[in-house]
């Protein structure tokens, strides 16, 4: 039995422990500000698995609030600690960060759930609950892989750092705090629910608000006013043509099977106050996908210039230009070379376990990958099982968690390198 077969067999014997980790984590309702109990449990797991050192701290907002990647609206992080544990290697191998967030999005309308959102119900080989896919299940798989490596007496040369971070869903503050504290490695894996796709590129995103001005008048004499709702249709057309443009200009084989790789979504339109009054102001709010390879600042500038140019041939809009405001959430894109060694290692590990080749793609959403790649000097790869994030009856198949734990173990063996058995 070779070292891979040995650890794979041990992971199968650890299935109950992996499921227990996952179920217990789901039962903590870790929305923003409520992570402390779950992180204490994570620290306990790390202690049991002999991580040393273990660092648990509440990020200092004063050290981050002027950073270009900091966007959190919180005043402090009291009650919201990060936990980082390190397994020291014997020396000489490459180091690896396994980064997963503990925070979740709210459960939404409980009437849309067939299972209690925080029940951690296991039924027919499936675990249900908010956060099981995004991404408490894979956090459990990380610990299962580590446990199996230890039980199989497989020691690696490179250091393994496991980061359980806060605030990913609201702007990556937890991973940013890790980066500013100096945590880095030769590569990182973020086990977001990519459906087992290996993703060297992560799309960025940014929220925008566009103000369209008109001129108020009585509806009976609407010809004396300028209807901002009518004028806003020209702006909506400009947004659509910009989406077409950016998807054409930044095409990538990593998004070849995605109908609209970098989508722009109009999520909210407000205008008018009274049926008998010509509306003088419309507000359009939306989310813009930002292609890897394009900075947020450049994307913002391109979008603003496009809106101005595409509406300039209409007299009223040329004289009363729509204004663009960037507000709320924005995440920068990230990208590593698809031929990077960590991509090759993950691909080979997947093939060892699944006996087929994985799909290489880019994510349709932002991740903490930018923080690791850009600010921690750690090339980050997104790769994980599951596809049901942010929805009612969020779920994860147990067989997928076991499969993922095996792949992670193979990645660790190959990337960090092992001592001779």
- Active-site residue numbers? 103, 168
Tokens of 272: 């008018």
Ranges assigned E (strand) in 133-229: 160-165, 187-190, 198-202, 204-213
CA distance 200 to 380: 7
Q: Indicate the Cα dihedral angle 405, 411, 412, 413, nearest 10°.
A: 110
CA distance 399 to 6: 18
Tokens of 282: 């419309």
- Asked whether the beta carbons of 85 and 97 are under 8 A apart, the reply is no
CA distance 137 to 47: 19
Residue 63 is classified by DSSP as G
CA angle at 75 for the pair 69 and 76, rounded to the nearest 5°: 85
Report the relative pairing of strands 160-165 and 323-331 from DSSP bridges: unpaired
What single string gives the DSSP state of each residue in 258-271? -SSTT-EEEEEEEE
Q: Which residue has the tokens 């090759």?
A: 344
Q: Return the sign of the alpha-carbon dihedral for residues 389, 394, 397, 398.
A: positive
- Asked whether the beta carbons of 168 and 83 are under 8 A apart, the reply is no
Tokens of 244: 């077409």
Number of Cβ within a 10 Å radius of residue 408: 28
Distances (CA, A) of 404 to 39, 133, 359, 386: 22, 12, 15, 10
CA angle at 340 for the pair 163 and 201, rounded to the nearest 5°: 65
Report the relative pairing of strands 121-123 and 96-101 from DSSP bridges: unpaired
Number of Cβ within a 10 Å radius of residue 92: 11
Those residues whose C-beta lies under 8 Å from the C-beta of residue 333, and which sit 6 or more positions away, are 201, 202, 203, 204, 290, 291, 292, 293, 294, 296, 366, 370
């Amino acid at each position: 039995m070779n070292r891979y077969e040995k650890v794979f067999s041990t992971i199968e014997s650890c299935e109950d422990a992996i499921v227990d980790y996952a179920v217990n984590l789901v039962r903590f309702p870790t929305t923003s500000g409520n992570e402390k109990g779950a992180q204490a449990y994570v620290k306990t797991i790390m202690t049991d698995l002999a991580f040393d050192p273990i660092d648990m701290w509440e990020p200092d907002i004063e050290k981050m609030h002027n950073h270009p990647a900091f966007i959190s609206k919180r005043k402090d992080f009291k009650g919201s600690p990060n936990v980082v544990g390190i397994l020291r290697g014997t020396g000489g191998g490459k180091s690896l960060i396994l980064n997963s967030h503990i925070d979740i999005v709210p459960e939404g309308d409980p009437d849309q759930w067939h299972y209690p959102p925080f029940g951690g119900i296991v039924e027919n080989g499936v675990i249900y609950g908010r956060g099981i896919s995004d991404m408490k299940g894979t956090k459990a798989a990380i610990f299962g892989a580590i446990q199996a490596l230890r039980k199989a007496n497989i020691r690696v040369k490179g250091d393994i750092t496991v980061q359980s971070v806060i605030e990913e869903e609201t702007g990556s503050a937890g991973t940013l705090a890790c980066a500013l504290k100096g945590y880095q490695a030769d590569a990182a894996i973020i086990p977001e629910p990519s459906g087992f796709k290996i993703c060297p590129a992560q799309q960025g995103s940014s929220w925008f608000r566009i103000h369209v001005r008109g001129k108020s008048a009585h509806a009976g004499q609407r010809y004396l006013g300028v209807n901002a709702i009518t004028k806003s249709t020209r702006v909506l057309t400009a947004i659509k043509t910009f989406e077409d443009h950016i998807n054409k200009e930044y095409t990538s084989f990593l998004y070849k099977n995605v109908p609209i790789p970098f989508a722009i979504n109009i999520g909210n339109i407000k205008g008018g106050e009274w049926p008998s009054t010509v509306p003088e102001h419309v507000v359009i709010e939306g989310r813009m996908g930002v292609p890897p390879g394009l900075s947020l600042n450049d994307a913002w500038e391109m979008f603003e210039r496009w809106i101005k140019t595409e509406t300039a041939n209409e007299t009223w809009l040329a004289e009363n230009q729509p204004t663009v405001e960037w507000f709320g959430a924005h995440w920068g894109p990230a990208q590593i070379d698809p031929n990077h060694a960590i991509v090759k290692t993950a691909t080979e590990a997947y093939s060892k376990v699944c006996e087929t080749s994985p799909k290489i793609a880019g994510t349709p959403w932002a991740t903490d990958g930018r923080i690791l790649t850009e600010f921690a000097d750690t090339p980050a790869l997104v790769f994980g099982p599951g596809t049901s994030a942010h929805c009612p009856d969020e779920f994860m198949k147990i067989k997928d968690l076991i499969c993922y734990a095996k792949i992670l173990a193979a990645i660790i063996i190959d990337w960090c390198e092992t001592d001779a058995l």
